[in-house]
Structure 1
Amino acid sequence: MKTKNLFGILMLFLLTFNFISCDKEDEDGRKITDYKEYVLTVASEMKPGVIWSEGNNFLKEVYVVKKENAEDWEAMGYIDGFEFEKGYEYKIKVSETSYLDHSMGQPAWTEYDLLDVLSKEEKNSENLPLHFIPEWFYEEHVLPKYKYAVEADKKEVIETDLKESSIIPLDYHYLLYRGGDALLRWFAIKDDKNTLGPCIIKSENKDPEKMPESYKLLPPEGNVEGFIGWSFLDEEGNETNYPSFDVFVGRSAKSKSFNPAPNIVYLYKDLTEYYKNKYPEIGVKTVVASYTVGIN
């Protein structure tokens, strides 16, 4: 009998404790831990940068901003309510609110809201950094893997040429991201002072059955999920002198991730006609180059 009474008292205590704990959690809810207002200068163009959200780092276009009396530009991922127009430098008043809510997956976060647009001037902002991508982020993306195949009477001539003059630089890290306009962009980075792009990727679907036969000499190593064409435009949407590629999109055969999203692209270029014209006397039959590039 005493055992039953003791058990009942214990259960009542646990239920009461849980009720009080839940009630206290509901009372606490979302808290504002800090609030401030200040004026920002927003530069006339956005730049690629890395931001942290929902426990992950990811690459996107960010605002380039400078706080009052500050000398250096810095990155800001979001300003709620702000409608940015490229080519204009702004002075805006914003609020910065920090929250804490232990019921959320990300318990602490900060939100930036537009309070007022103080000025909007058409100009090119000066002394902007090329990007806001830390070294540790872009070095996680391996350098492109370069392969080629040659069929010719004197193929060593072409092989030497291919070794010495790759279509794309092999010592740059290549990154993909979407801009504020949702267009896919391509950005190559060697270090803080050496970059290529960004370029807007113009993509078109292609029929795999119509791909050049030469590509079969260098089959992709992973699982191919699509075949498209890529050409590259500048930020104004104009054609560039960057070469176009046929692209196989897929997943690396060595990937251990359960994420089904593509994580690699294979860039192909048939160079047969180019080398037939460059070296008409060496019996060129087929020349193809490919680049394996991981995508973030």
Structure 2
Amino acid sequence: MKTKELLGMLLLFLSAINFASCSDDDELSPITLEYEDSNVIFDNEIRTFNLTPFSGETTPLHIKGGDGNYKITNSDESVVRVNFDGTKISLQAQSLGNAFVKIEDAANNSYTLSVIIKYREFANAIVQRKYIITGDGLTVGDKTKLENEIKATDFTDKYLFTYKDAENSIGSVCVWNKDNKTKEYNFTNELIKLSEENAILIAGEYKLHEYNKVTIQGENYSEVLYVTRSFFSLIGTRMNNFPNPTYCYIKDLTEQYKSVYPKAEHIYIIYEVMSTLKL
């Protein structure tokens, strides 16, 4: 009798284990999003997708997990259009703003993706600067005096450019000074290509053949930057705590000081900047 009881208890125990095992097998994995290319990882922790108003349709995101019976809810179709074919989604910007795309299945699993449509922004911090003053008629004293005058008014520390068209040709810019004060202006951006004959002489044999001419304008303010990658060697030894710069910004101050220093041929400030994409 005891043997039968023990055998019955053993069978009951094994049945319980088997039932628990089957329950674990039936548990659904959470809903996630994945790119088709396994080498490109979508961040399912942050669950945020950033676009500009000029972005085309995104690469499809495949929906994984859940029970496979998905439905999509878009909180604001005026901000983003969601293309859904039952197993994957793609996004297309419509206007500036935020929207939430919610994915649900029949088993009450859900996943919410935050979609942010904003202009592309680049923060450009000045990490080093150099003053170039040329003119055969200038004395050493003249050059030293002029350089000190330029330094006394050279307060710019950082630029934050916000590009407001698909070609990155117009937008607004915030200019920070060394006291962390900022002012906002408008800017235009134009690619310039010059022949050898018309190239701009900067110093020695260094000539500017191709650059982006960035014109910053506002009330009682005007500034022109020649943006290039070609003049890092003019700065000299770089500080070890900064990585390689992204761009050189060249400011031509010749006309500004020419009346006081008529023997000056060229007067430039060259900024080495580190650029960081904000979107």
The normalised TM-score by structure 1 is 0.43
Larger radius of gyration: 2
The normalised TM-score by structure 2 is 0.45
